[in-house]
Amino acid sequence: MTPKHKRTWLLSALALVVGFALLAAACGSSKKSSSGTTSSTGTSGGTSQQKTFANFRVVYDTGTDYLDPGLSYTVEGWEAMWNVYLSLLGYKHVNGPDGATLVPALATDMPQVSSDGLTYKLTLRKSLKYSDGSAVKATDFQYAIERDYKVDSPGVGFFSNIVGADQFSKTKKGHISGITANDSTGAITIKLLKPQGDFQNILATIFAAPVPQGTPAKDQSTTPIPSTGPYLIQSYKPNRQFVLARNPQFKALPNVQAGNPDKITVSIVEDDAAALQQVINGQGDYDFHPIPVDRLANVQQKYGSQLKVYTPANTYYFFMNAREKPFDNVKVRQAINYAIDRNALVRLYGGLATPTENVLPPTYPQYKKLNLYPHDMAKAKALLKGTGATSVPITIWGSNRETSKKPVAYLQDVMTQLGFKAKLKIIDAAVYWTTIGNQKTKAQIGFADWFQDYPHPLDWFDVLLNGERITPTHNNNYSNFNDTAVNKKIDDLKKQPTLSDQVNTQWADVDRMVMQQAAWAPYVNRQFTDFFSSRIDTSCYVNHVLYQFDFSRICVK
Amino acid sequence: MATEPATTEFTLDTAQLLAEEEHGRSIVGRSPWYLAWRRLRRNKVALTAFALFVLVVAVSAAAPLYADHVAHTTASANHPTENVKVGSKIVPVISQGGTYTDPKTHELRVKPVNIIGPTWWHAGGKFVLGADENGRDNAVRLLYGGRNSLIVGVGSAFLCTLFAVILALIAGYYGGVADWVITRFFDLIWAFPVILLAIALGAALSINGLHWNLRLFHVNLESGSLWIPTIVISYVLIPYIGRPLRGQILSLREKEFVEAAVAQGAGPLRIMFGEILPNIASSALVFFTLVVANNILLEAALSFLGAGIQDPNPSWGKLISEGQDRILTAPWLTITPGIAIVVTVVALNIFGDGLRDALDPRAKVRIEH
């Protein structure tokens, strides 16, 4: 898999208490009147009433990479397109951990999986139409996956276990032999090389969303692809604005209801303070940006009911490249883990973070808190003694976003205290992940974060720390961590079809094994804010574990 | 009725003034530099401005001393978990924030962090101007920022003037193809707005640095090097000095003293650097002072936009950029470097104008772009 561009705040379950409270609030809101029409949609989970209103004005940041389902790999892109391009499977549109429940979307039912775990059978719903009026066909699914390969999608790594995918990736001709589809019956069959416990989650990603055959194999962000979901992309001016409008062809599906806003106007604003002010002034309805640290107290006091704080599944860490000196020495990696004061890093994020030493975020049932590296500079210095590490010049890599600049400045200070000659290399966020994910860069150490693509430990350990998945370019394993025992354990657990308690315990063991080898220096799990204008009824607020704030469910007072 | 020269007059020397200054002695020949100095020293405003600039330089140069002996930190040292004694109180540099669940609403709420503000002198010189979001001492960063801004401003002005003078001498003296090539080079740079060109070059070089490894010529500047903004700023301003100087040289090379030097068998280098250069030196010097002020401003703009001095090095422009997110609650973060820039640039401009008047009262030397 190619790098996930790290504003990908794809959420998670955590916040059980908050989730349930909000879910209750959301359900309660169905009885309230709205300024628009109210109608029943008969969907499962969350609000069962539609409360339409004319325009929902979103103030977004600059993180939208593409509005093409085959290319987008940021939370901004996914959050916007979640209600535009539907996949065969999807997730419940509800708050809290229940949002991680897989449900059929364009498929009639959940897939039938063969006993050997190698064959998945699904059936496309009948009479589905794209927003341009053309019929959705079963072979469109196959076309979408093949198009992913043709456009060099960052999501192709998800499909590499499909029979024939590897061959297709080389030739980009013919078809992927492991996918067969019948347009008359809607039957879709997918054959895998090996059992894969997270394959249903992969089918629910936006990369697997069917697109009309003939969609050009190049970025279609500004010439939007016809949609299957409740909204369509009406226009897109990169870095300025995009507009989502109702899809006239959409008919409510059992797990996907029509949205409340008739139109969603998304303005792209770079500055956090300016974005906040727009929403306070009523020029916008929703501020995607984090509230600036020094404004938090005031905003919370004055506009408390309009502010939502949530904890997506994320881990912020420093990668340490095990192929480069001095981090090829486990003692050096452990020394960095001892040297960083995670509580200090929490303060750098304005208190909106929790210290961590785990790879997995605490929202995961597999999470078992690790306490291997309490802050201890003396121990860190002792570990470095005799390694010769401090004589190696160090370049610390970071992107020019505030979330990266602060921790790398801190790390440089810490490494200087340890005796290293460390300098910073800050590069533009747009090229950061591809740069450090290229082996030629030989990035020694630097900032990284991860937000889940789907709620499964494989999305963390297999994607980020399996040495067998290290690639020359678009590498996600920035540490180039390659431990035979860890790789084997991941491969074994990958075959497990379900996440039983026993399997979860084994994933917790992998977490410990990785951190004993100090593959990373994880430091915080961050919390984020959503802020709304006074006209918005926040009782309709739905924050999904994966896609974060659900635009389609919001309503006005 | 004879008109008394105004005390602030510092342009043309009147016979009466000269006689008074020579204390009745016979008037002797004075070098142009001496005469310029005499005019300049009568310009109290310019001298005061220069003294102010020298003060700014001295204070900035003293940054390491202040950091070591007063603030007991460095420009890049982070102190997020430390406490400081302010008067009789112990104050955290950055307080412990966090989130909690509101017992009434059961919603997640924030306990925001509090970053220490100016302690003035109540904390033994620590955090005089408070801390930034990394817990770094703002006063120390302001002084180091001044040092970096001045190094880049003066360094780029020096480089810019040096190259502009050399190119102008070659173009103006040789004319022909050399003049055509050099003026087209000036035109090429001139075709772009200064700020846009500087941003483009600064942003490109700040990613990968500058690496030229030719057979005899090696340049390896890493992305955080102060040389990068210095070179970028000097490069984009070369034609703004080179072009007017070339005009002066075109005129000077037709003068009799040049013809006399040629007649005496002087070579091109001797004529350029021995005959023409002294005649444009006063203009170059004035340009230099004005360009320093201009370059400090340009560096601030570039650093504000992220294309100038790179992390963790501070500069005044960068400090303004870093402080803008907290402008409502911690305005001193932006105001103090802003004042420093204004004082320095105004002082240099006033001094530059004074110097121009002293060196050549009839000259109209301006940096315009």
CA B176, B179, B184, B187 torsion-angle sign: negative
Tell me what pLDDT residue B2 has.
44
Closest CB to A413: pick one of B78, B223, B325.
B78
Residues of chain B found within 8 Å of residue A272, distances taken between Cβ atoms? 325
More confident residue, A70 or B362: A70
pLDDT, residue B359, reads: 81
Which one, of B145, B35, B130, lies nearest residue B331 by Cα? Answer: B130
Interchain contact B134–A (C-beta under 8 A): yes
| Residue A418, pLDDT score | 96
| Cα A15 off chain centre by | 17
**Residues found in chain B:** 369
Does residue A341 sit at the B interface (CB-CB below 8 Å)?
A: yes
Interface pTM (ipTM) of the complex?
Answer: 0.83
Across the interface, whether the CB atoms of A352 and B311 are under 8 A apart is answered: no
Alpha-carbon torsion B207, B209, B210, B214, what sign?
negative
Half-sphere exposure of B305 (CA within 13 A, CB side): 17
B65, B67, B69, B291 from B127: Cα distances, Å: 15, 11, 13, 34
Of chain A, the end-to-end C-alpha distance in Å amounts to 43
CA dist A427 and A405 (Å) reads 10
Which of B83, B91, B99 best probes binding to A when mutated, by most A CB atoms within 10 angstroms? B99
Average pLDDT over residues A273-302: 91
Are B101 and A17 in contact (CB < 8 Å)? yes
C-alpha triplet A265, A266, A271: angle, nearest 5°: 145
Secondary structure in 3-state letters for chain B? CCCCCCCCCCCCCCHHHHHHHCCCCCCCCCCHHHHHHHHHHHCHHHHHHHHHHHHHHHHHHCHHHHHHHHHCCCCCCCCCCCEEEECCEEEECECCCEEEECCCCCCEEEECCCECCCCCCCCCCCCCCCECCCCCEHHHHHHHHHHHHHHHHHHHHHHHHHHHHHHHHHHHHHCHHHHHHHHHHHHHHHCCCHHHHHHHHHHHHHHHCEEEECCCCEEEECCCCCHHHHHHHHHHHHHHHHHHHHHHHHHHCCCHHHHHHHHCCCCHHHHHHHHHHHHHHHHHHHHHHHHHHHHHHHHHHHHHCCCCCCCCCCCHHHHHHHHHHHCCCCCHHHHHHHHHHHHHHHHHHHHHHHHHHHHCCCCCCCCCC
Of A285-289, A479-483, B357-361, the poorest mean pLDDT is in: B357-361
Angle at B232 between CA B227 and CA B236, to 5 degrees: 150
φ/ψ (deg, to 5) at A543: -115, 110
CA distances from B289 to A284, B2, B57, B163, B296 (A): 48, 37, 14, 15, 11
Q: Which residues in chain B have Cβ-Cβ distances shorter than 8 Å to A296?
A: 110, 112
Axis crossing angle, helix A458-465 with helix A501-516, rounded to the nearest 10: 30
Using a pLDDT cut of 70, give the percent of chain A over it: 91
Across A222-226, A288-292, A436-440, the highest mean pLDDT is recorded for A222-226
Per-residue burial over B244-256, b if 16 or more Cβ lie within 10 Å, else e, is bbbebbeebbeee
Say whether A1 sits in a helix, a strand or coil.
coil
A397-412 average pLDDT score: 92
Does residue B161 have a pLDDT over 90?
yes
Give the H/E segment covering residue A51.
strand A49-51
DSSP string, A434-477: HHHTSGGG---EEEEEEE-SSSSTHHHHHHHH-GGG--SSS-S-
- Mean local confidence (pLDDT), B32-41: 83
Count Cβ neighbours within 10 Å for each residue of B263-281 and write b for 16 or more, e otherwise.
Answer: eeeeeeeebbeebbbebbe
User: Is A413 in Cβ contact with B77 (below 8 Å)?
Assistant: yes
Residue A383: pLDDT band by 50, 70, 90 thresholds?
A: very high
Q: What is the predicted pLDDT for the residue at B309?
A: 87
The pLDDT value recorded for residue B8 is 47
Average pLDDT over residues B96-118: 87
| Cβ-based neighbours of A373, under 8 Å, separated by 6 or more | A334, A337, A338, A357, A515, A518
What was the pLDDT predicted at B105? 82
Chain B positions in Cβ-Cβ contact with residue A412 (cut-off 8 Å): 76, 312
Short-list A42, A51, A85, CA closest to A231: A85
The verdict on A375 touching B (C-beta cutoff 8 Å) is no
Closest-CA residue in chain A for B135? Answer: A348
Q: Is the pLDDT of residue A338 over 90?
A: yes
Across A183-187, B26-30, B159-163, least confident range: B26-30
pLDDT at res. A241: 94
Contacts of B99 in chain A (CB under 8 A): 309, 311, 351-352, 354, 527
Please give the pLDDT value at position B19.
Answer: 66
Q: Quick check: A329 pLDDT over 60? A: yes
Q: What gap in Å lies between CA A264 and CA A52, rounded to an integer?
A: 12
pLDDT at residue B142, as a whole number: 96
Confidence category of residue A26, pLDDT binned at 50, 70, 90: very low
How are strands ordered across the β-sheet holding A520-526?
A: A353-355, A520-526, A314-320, A445-451, A394-399, A422-427
Mean residue pLDDT across chain A: 88
Task: Tally DSSP H helices, then E strands, for chain A.
Answer: 15, 25
Fill in the DSSP letter of residue A125: P
- Highest mean predicted confidence (pLDDT) among A71-80, A270-279, A295-304, B164-173: B164-173
Q: How do residues A45-55 score in pLDDT, each as one tens digit? A: 344 567 899 99
Name the nearest CA neighbour of A550 among B303, A542, A143, A488. Answer: A542
Cβ contact A398:A405 at 8 Å? yes
Q: How many angstroms away from the CA of B123 is the closest CA of chain A?
A: 21
State the Cα–Cα distance between residues A399 and A395, nearest whole angstrom. 13
> Do B226 and B149 touch, CB atoms closer than 8 A?
no
Q: A28-42, A317-331, A403-417, B114-128: lowest mean pLDDT where? A: A28-42
A397 token code pair: 């890599």
| B24, pLDDT greater than 50 | yes
Copy the structure tokens of residue A414: 């810490």
Run of H or E including A202:
helix A199-203
Closest partner residue to A350 (CB to CB) among B78, B97, B310 is B97
Please state the rounded mean pLDDT for residues B117-139. Answer: 92
pLDDT for position A28 = 34
The verdict on a CB contact (< 8 Å) between B110 and A296 is yes
Retrieve residue A232's tokens.
């369509």
Q: How far apart are CA A523 and CA A258, in angstroms?
A: 40
Asked if A413's CB is within 8 angstroms of B76's CB, the reply is yes
Q: Which residues of A touch B91 (CB under 8 A)?
A: none
